[in-house]
A and B are shown apart, each in its own frame.
Chain A
Amino acid sequence: MRLGWAIDRRGARSLLAQGFIVLSIVAVVWFLADNTVANLRALGITTGFGFLQRVTSLAIPNSWLDYTAGVSTYGLAITVGFINTLVVSFIVIVLSTVLGMLIGIARLSPNWLLSRSCHTYVEALRNVPVLLHLLFWYQLLLQLPGPRRALNPVAGVFVSNRGIRYPSLEPDSAHVWIALALLAGAAAAAMLGRLNRVNRERTGKGRRIWPLGLFLVAGPPLLAWQATGAKLAFQVPELAGFDFRGGGALTPELSAVVIGLAIYSSAFVAEIVRAGIIGVPAGQWEAADALGLRKVTTLRKIILPQALRIIVPPITNEYLGIIKNTSLAVAVGYPDLVFVVTTTISYTGQAVEGVAIIMLAFLAISLSVSLFMNWYNARVALVAR
């Protein structure tokens, strides 16, 4: 009897507490929304996403889409910013992974000088704010000589305070076919590798397939090139007046974001890779040594595949951090999503919608990266047979 009463009382109290939480949240949201509506009315701002259809005068250089300031809409500008965010994230993730992998492995080198230098690199870079890295590289790039006295490290590449200029392919409509042929060839080579692996696991015998694979990757594009007769001419940047013309260009803003973020993140990736390799039991090294495998082969075939299982979860977090850190591009004026949206907010006053767009876009990216990395993690995870 008493017990039942106690349970009832506890249930009632829990219900009461939950009702209280819901009510207080509703009250706070109501209060904020009421204030916001009143404030927006006082400022003469119409709420809603109608402003996305309006024409903007925001200038975005080197856009990936057909974007012209004064003609295109805010919606298109924000799309261009979103693509820029994705592009920068991708470049930084690739660069920092490669650099971090090398430094993480080098930190474990038996050579004292090499491992100490890598240790110093990691400690010096990761204990300084990432924004400081970005600003530092940006002001350094702006201090380079002007286009007339541009540095010319490799023929055709010019480095000046207007950014990096490099030779690019003369655009031709047939290039699409060559790219498609390359893609198809690479897919065929991947299939071949897979078949060979399945076959090796079944029969214990593998074939040497790299000559055929090389042919599959390189053959189709060459054939397509011959068949379509596409031009393969390079556009070399030339000095014209006060700036270069022609060729591809990396603006100082993009270069600063990529260099700063990649160097900063590589220190963290290096630590993750190092922890992953240390996490593999020493017996694996010794067993491979006893079998007569060379160090490099041991690392590539025995240690790294096992270390990958330890590495994937923390590196997923690091990649998500990199994507979020690209939002700092706003500090050096690279037109990423955050830069475009904050400029839009200052032009139109649509603060609530703008911040909502930023948050939704980043939530969407974070969620897709988590899903992809979870799938990859499941793939490399230990399969118990």
Chain B
Amino acid sequence: MADSQAPTVLPVAEYLPPPMEKGPVAWATKNLFNSWASTLTTIISVLILGNLAWWFLDWAVFRAVWTLPGSGIADTLACRAEEAGACWAQISEKYRFILFGLYPYLEQWRPALCIVIFIALYFSSADRRLWNWRLSVVWAAGLAAIWVLMRGGFLGLPMVSDDLWGGLPVTLSLATFGIAFAFPLAIVVALGRMSTTSPTARFVCLVYVQLIRGVPLISVLFMASVMFPLFLPEGVTVSNLLRAQVAIIIFAAAYLSEAIRGGLQAVDKGQSEAADSLGLGYWQKMILIVIPQALRVVLPPIVSLCISFFKSTSLVMIIGIFDLLNAAKLSVSEPAWQGFGTEAYLFVAMIYFAFCFAMARYGQGLERRLNASR
């Protein structure tokens, strides 16, 4: 009886797990030569990418001209030869102009210092452990220091009027001041659009947001540059840079308010009701309870909005402001340097890329951590 019930024992060896797929060959088999279609794709990609890379290296490195004797028309002839590749000498000759514009040459340490302060401010705000009231004090001090440094006029610094400002500091100021001032405005507009007691406020905020979001930024900038002077009483003038800055604030606030409104709607209604039952007033309830929770939800979309505002500041070039892109464009307008736009544009493209890519990476990390803690 016991014999007939005995389980058949199978040889163990056949049930060993398959060998681990490791090593470069296994990886390539899995990711590059998985099937005949994949192999074909790999071969075609290698051919195209290899050709492109070789062509670019040849232009940018092997045949490039790195130094020139001077900056006259005769000196740049070496770059115009048939076999010459990229003319990086243009960048080493013009980089101060591209970065700082027409700012007085001897004072250019000031905008350089401003760039450093801007970047320090960005880094200090990136760390979530530092998100408290001290950070706003640091920001206020930093922005004030930047303004004093750029403008001068006291502490022995010569005054530099803002029509001489240019290059990277202008781009960074337009973006940073734009977002810093648009943010509170956007919160007020978002609250206005969600107001339950005041249909007037709701209507005004709705018209503002839809109007600004329906038209291109360039028309808002035109409004600031050609229409705004007509609005002012006689004798009052506002500088071109300040008008562009106001236009960017108004534009950014409309987009930010839509993002923030999404966050406000996502906050559970019970939070608001609990605050009411505790006897908090409207502003106390919003500032202490609702807005902090709403902002937490919409931080990732706000980061991508910031990236797009940063890129959009380049549009001020069209109304004649000397930002980074305009400086690059004008750096190749002299006869001696005409035709070397590719080099100048690649140079500023790398600067824009560095800022935007860093922001995008930061935004992705933020999204992951916020999702993880939920």
8 Å CB interface, B219-277 against A:
219, 222-223, 226-227, 229-234
Q: How far is the CA of A128 from the CA of B171 in the complex (A)?
A: 13
Jot down 27 A-B pairs with beta carbons below 8 A, ordered by A: A17-B198, A35-B230, A35-B233, A42-B234, A110-B31, A111-B41, A112-B32, A113-B45, A114-B42, A128-B353, A131-B315, A132-B314, A132-B325, A132-B348, A132-B352, A139-B342, A324-B217, A325-B216, A327-B216, A338-B219, A355-B219, A355-B222, A355-B223, A359-B219, A362-B216, A363-B211, A366-B214
Q: Is the CB of B31 within 8 A of A21?
A: no
A123 within 8 Å of B (CB atoms): yes
Q: Which residues of B contact A (CB under 8 A)?
A: 31-32, 34, 38, 41-42, 45-46, 49, 197-201, 204, 211, 214-219, 222-223, 226-227, 229-234, 307, 311-312, 314-315, 317-318, 325, 329, 332, 339, 341-342, 345, 348-349, 352-353, 356-357, 360
Cβ-defined contact, A117 with B353, below 8 A: no
**Interface bin, chain A:** 35 or more
Q: Is the CB of B215 within 8 A of A114?
A: no
Known: A42-B234, A345-B222. 4 other contacts (CB 8 A): A17-B201, A324-B215, A338-B219, A359-B219
Are the CB atoms of B348 and A127 closer together than 8 Å? no
Complex contacts, B230 vs chain A, CB 8 Å: 35-36, 39-40, 351-352
CB under 8 Å from chain B, chain A span 1-20 = 10, 14, 17-18
**Complex CA–CA separation, A130 to B313 (angstroms):** 11
A25 at the interface (CB under 8 A from B): yes
- The answer to whether B325 touches A131, judged by C-beta atoms less than 8 angstroms apart, is yes
Give Cα A39–Cα B34 distance, bound, in whole angstroms.
73
Residue in chain A with minimal CB distance to B350: A128
A352 and B34 contact, CB distance less than 8 A: no
What is the distance, in angstroms, from B333's C-beta to the closest C-beta of chain A?
11
* Contact A131 B314, CB 8 Å, known A18-B199, A338-B219, A358-B219: yes
Q: Are B42 and A111 in contact (CB under 8 A)?
A: yes
Nearest Cβ distance between residue B243 and chain A, in whole angstroms?
A: 13
Judging by beta carbons under 8 Å apart, are A136 and B345 in contact?
yes
Cβ-based interface call for A328 (8 A): yes
Is B198 in contact with A21, judged by CB distance below 8 angstroms?
A: yes
How far does the Cβ of A138 sit from chain B's closest Cβ, in whole Å?
A: 9
Residue A140 CB within 8 A of the other chain: yes
Q: Nearest residue in A to B231 (C-beta to C-beta)?
A: A32
Is the CB–CB distance between A362 and B348 below 8 Å?
A: no
Are B226 and A351 in contact, CB atoms less than 8 angstroms apart? yes
Residue of B nearest to A338 (CB): B218
A127 B356 Cβ-Cβ under 8 A: yes
Task: Tell me how far the C-beta of B331 lies from the nearest C-beta in chain A, rounded to whole angstroms.
Answer: 12
Q: Are B349 and A113 in contact (CB under 8 A)?
A: no
Q: Mark A304-344, 1 if CB is under 8 A from B, else 0.
A: 00000000000000000000110110110000001000100
Does A367 sit within 8 A of B, measured CB to CB?
yes
Residue in chain B with minimal CB distance to A370: B214
Closest to A345 in B: B226
Query: Contact at B49–A117, with CB atoms within 8 Å?
Result: yes
Which single residue of chain A is at the shortest CB-CB distance from B313? A129
| Interface core residue of A123, A131, A327, A342 (most chain B CB under 10 Å) | A131
The answer to whether the Cβ of A183 comes within 8 Å of any Cβ in the partner chain is no
CA–CA, A130 to B311, complex, Å?
Answer: 8
Instruction: Report if A239 contacts B (CB, 8 A).
Output: no
Q: B314 to chain A: closest CB distance in Å? A: 4
Which residue in chain B gives the minimum CB-CB distance to A138? B341
* A17 nearest in chain B by CB position: B198
Contact partners of A330 in chain B: CB under 8 A: 218, 318
